[in-house]
Structure 1
Amino acid sequence: MCQRLSKEAVINEKKVIFSAFSGRLYACSPKAIYEYMIQSPEFKDYTFVWAFTKPDQKQHLFHDSRTILVKFQSEAFFQHLSTARYWVFNFTTPPYFIKRDDQIFVQCWHGTPLKRIGMDIQVDGNAATKKEDIHKHYLEVGKICDYFLSPSKFATDRFISAFGLNVLHKEHVIIEQGYPRNASLFTGTEEKIKALRESFGIPEGKKVILYCPTFRDDQYQKGLGHTYQLGINLLRLKEKLPPDYFLLLRLHYLVSNKIDISQFKGFALDVSNYDDVNDLYLVSDMLVTDYSSVFFDFENLHRPIIFYMYDLADYKNKLRDFYLDLNELPGPIVEKERDLIDTILNIDQIAQGYEGNYQRCCERFNYLDDAEATQRVVKEFMK
């Protein structure tokens, strides 16, 4: 259907279609770009389309009559995909998303990569897809990109190789102006943070730990997708930490299985389905992650980061490997759960030993992130 629609449809020069994380969330740079455009007089006569897997659950987030919500990969979605002048997505598009030459695809991506992605993956640890198929898919996405957002020279070089932009002689499509997704980290007021903490039910005075593990390529069930085995014993964590700690659990968007932590009410809260991770950053006193790119964004807040890599050898040698020397990371690497608890309790003192790494990382990866990044990006791809 999308082939026929793409060839026959009339392009609406003032229509933009957005989607984030394959329709799962209202978030990331597509959200920041949309909210900038919806408030700008320059786009007052534009039509905006958002595609979600469950649009009925997102309807309450939208109040502007120019915005249309559709179900991701529905007939209405493909109709708008075929008539929109601009596509603004942050994920790898399926091969049946057929773009015409007079349409503009803005690839936002969803973070600075630590683990290798796309054509840079050299190991066969993915349970769902062969390395060669991953390479081919990323190259196909690279072929249809008209613009590709980047927050730094480091990220630019990774995206060029991972999506084959060098092979395609398309290095010029990069917009290296900072990430729109991070602009809200520079405008978070104390009032906003207080309101967010109240909305999450975080008691006043609690120290908030945000735990954001990524998915494992080898944890996959046919018909279900990527799953995740929680690499941390929440009961032990609750017993060992003082009562003034509170845990927010944020699983990767590709993880399909829900982990039930209802028994830890008052200590832990699953926020995996919460749309905007920036709100979670703002309310958190520290970040615990593993191989996720979230730490690059969190660095903008200059708060402590712990890398809990309990399966480091397997992940490095069998699954992904990394773009960085892990000795450059802006926080301690912990491989044992007992050491994780000690590190959390003493993070303020331990973090002092990583101040140099932290500063160097901010200067290398986040030097373009600020409150104006969205405006700069939109001006680039709309000109």
Structure 2
Amino acid sequence: MFSLFKHTNVEANRISFIIDSRESFKGNLDYIKKEFEKRGNFEFHFFYKDKLSFSSFKKLAGSKYIFLNDNFFPLAFMKFSDENTIVQLWHAPGASKKFGGSIDIESREILRKISENTDCLIVTSKNIIGYYSEAFQMPESKIKALGLPRMDYYFENHDLDKLKDDFCQKFDVPKDKKIILYAPTFRDEEKYNNVFNYLDVEDFNRQLGEEYVLALRLHPKIKNFYKDDISSKGKYIDVSGYESEQELMLISDMLITDYSSIMIEYSILNKPTIFFTYDLDEYLSNERGFYYDFKTTVPGPIVYTSDELIDAIRNGISDESKISEFVMTQFDEIDGHSSKRIVDYLLNNGG
């Protein structure tokens, strides 16, 4: 279908965003759109990759700038004009777990074809360009460390008191409680996906409930592993459906995670993170691995049992120098101007 429109005139003011109908990972695209709106009269088109139409293909072919935020394998076979500029923003900051061509040897050929049709890939630091080059099978010369657009969110004027008040009202939480955000990731090994087989929530609340409330944000893939809804018993708050993960990070006082890349984004807030890795040895042996030594690099204490987790929270274990060191490996600039740098780069033709 796309080939029917390969001779379409490219409009200098048209911008397309490739996205799915659930609008997954839309944050980057929203910030890029807002930045272009500051620069002039641009026309924006959302190309929904699971809702195809002739008119949508025609607008895509006629766009000067085309942005992606996630994988789109058909890009390997679409023949764009030299006038089109295709930009992969990617949806996650930094580099943590290995992905793409770093672990999937069979996909490397199609990834190479996609990279041939991509003009640039945006990352958050020069330190991670080599990792992304391997993951995307893309020459390092096409990878630019300009930042992650949606990270600009943290530099906007947010009324933190109001955000927390609204949260507490929504979930009937006393306003003086500190919020611990628990965001576990998905495991291929099914038996490790129900974290409540490893976290004693009753003991957690008995020892910490006076000061803290536990807000659980489940990875979409692991909801099926939770047979009983205990949130109604007041043991934790289920914030899996909360619209803004970034808002949760802003109002939380601490993060508990394991291997999730949320650790990278949270680290710029300079707040404590505890790594509850009850299956660490098995994960490191059987899952996809990391771009760094997990045990020596993560910006917070690693604990293996519910008792150790509770002790780490109670004792306020946090190493600001380690957080700062970790941030420096993942970000070149943390200033709220990532979207501006990217748009400047594109409008100046890569200058």
- TM-score range normalised by the length of the shorter chain: 0.7 to 0.9
Q: 2-side partners of 1:99 and 1:256: how far apart?
A: 39
Secondary structure at 1:295's aligned position in 2? helix
Secondary structure at 1:371's aligned position in 2? coil
Please tell me whether the aligned partners of residues 93 and 330 of structure 2 are also in contact (alpha carbons under 8 angstroms).
no
Residues 165-185 of structure 1 show CA distances to partners (whole Å, capped at 9, x for unaligned) of 2xxxx3222221222221111
Residue aligning to 2:45: 49
Q: Does 1:365 align with 2:330?
A: yes
Q: 2-side partners of 1:26 and 1:118: how far apart?
A: 17
Residue aligning to 1:141: 114
Deviation at 1:108, TM superposition (A): 0.9
Residue aligning to 2:89: 108
Deviation at 1:368, TM superposition (A): 0.7
> Structure 1: which amino acid aligns with 2:85?
I
Deviation at 1:309, TM superposition (A): 1.9
Residue aligning to 2:346: 381
Secondary structure at 2:333's aligned position in 1? coil
Q: Does 1:210 align with 2:210?
A: no
Q: Does 1:88 align with 2:67?
A: yes
Q: Does 1:330 align with 2:295?
A: no
Q: 2-side partners of 1:196 and 1:113: how far apart?
A: 33
> Structure 1: which amino acid aligns with 2:27?
C
Q: Give aligned-pair identity as a percent.
A: 28
Residue aligning to 1:312: 280
Secondary structure at 1:48's aligned position in 2? strand
Deviation at 1:83, TM superposition (A): 3.0
Residue aligning to 2:217: 250
Deviation at 1:292, TM superposition (A): 1.6
Q: 2-side partners of 1:185 and 1:146: how far apart?
A: 28
Q: 2-side partners of 1:199 and 1:84: how far apart?
A: 45
Cα separation, partners in 2 of 1:207 and 1:147, compared to 1, 3 Å? same
Please tell me whether the aligned partners of residues 129 and 143 of structure 2 are also in contact (alpha carbons under 8 angstroms).
yes
Secondary structure at 2:186's aligned position in 1? coil
Residue aligning to 2:245: 277
> Structure 2: which amino acid aligns with 1:205?
D
Q: Which runs of 4+ in 1 moved over 6 A?
A: none
Secondary structure at 1:287's aligned position in 2? strand
Deviation at 1:365, TM superposition (A): 1.9
Residue aligning to 1:190: 160
Please tell me whether the aligned partners of residues 21 and 253 of structure 1 are also in contact (alpha carbons under 8 angstroms).
no
Query: Which TM-score applies when normalising by structure 1?
Result: 0.77
Cα separation, partners in 2 of 1:296 and 1:235, compared to 1, 3 Å? closer
Deviation at 1:186, TM superposition (A): 2.5
> Structure 2: which amino acid aligns with 1:248?
A
Residues 347-369 of structure 1 show CA distances to partners (whole Å, capped at 9, x for unaligned) of x2x11xx3331121122223412
Q: 2-side partners of 1:258 and 1:10: how far apart?
A: 51
Deviation at 1:140, TM superposition (A): 3.1
Cα separation, partners in 2 of 1:151 and 1:196, compared to 1, 3 Å? farther
Cα separation, partners in 2 of 1:3 and 1:341, compared to 1, 3 Å? farther
Deviation at 1:298, TM superposition (A): 0.7
Please tell me whether the aligned partners of residues 26 and 275 of structure 1 are also in contact (alpha carbons under 8 angstroms).
no
Secondary structure at 1:323's aligned position in 2? coil
Please tell me whether the aligned partners of residues 178 and 213 of structure 2 are also in contact (alpha carbons under 8 angstroms).
yes
Please tell me whether the aligned partners of residues 193 and 222 of structure 2 are also in contact (alpha carbons under 8 angstroms).
no
Q: 2-side partners of 1:82 and 1:228: how far apart?
A: 45
Q: Does 1:11 align with 2:10?
A: yes
Cα separation, partners in 2 of 1:213 and 1:73, compared to 1, 3 Å? farther
Query: Which TM-score applies when normalising by structure 2?
Result: 0.83
Deviation at 1:71, TM superposition (A): 7.2
Q: 2-side partners of 1:271 and 1:21: how far apart?
A: 23
Q: Does 1:288 align with 2:256?
A: yes
> Structure 1: which amino acid aligns with 2:218?
L
Aligned positions, number: 337
> Structure 1: which amino acid aligns with 2:288?
R
Residue aligning to 1:231: 195
Deviation at 1:8, TM superposition (A): 4.6
Residue aligning to 2:135: 162
Secondary structure at 2:150's aligned position in 1? helix
Deviation at 1:319, TM superposition (A): 1.9
Q: 2-side partners of 1:196 and 1:71: how far apart?
A: 35
Q: 2-side partners of 1:176 and 1:343: how far apart?
A: 35
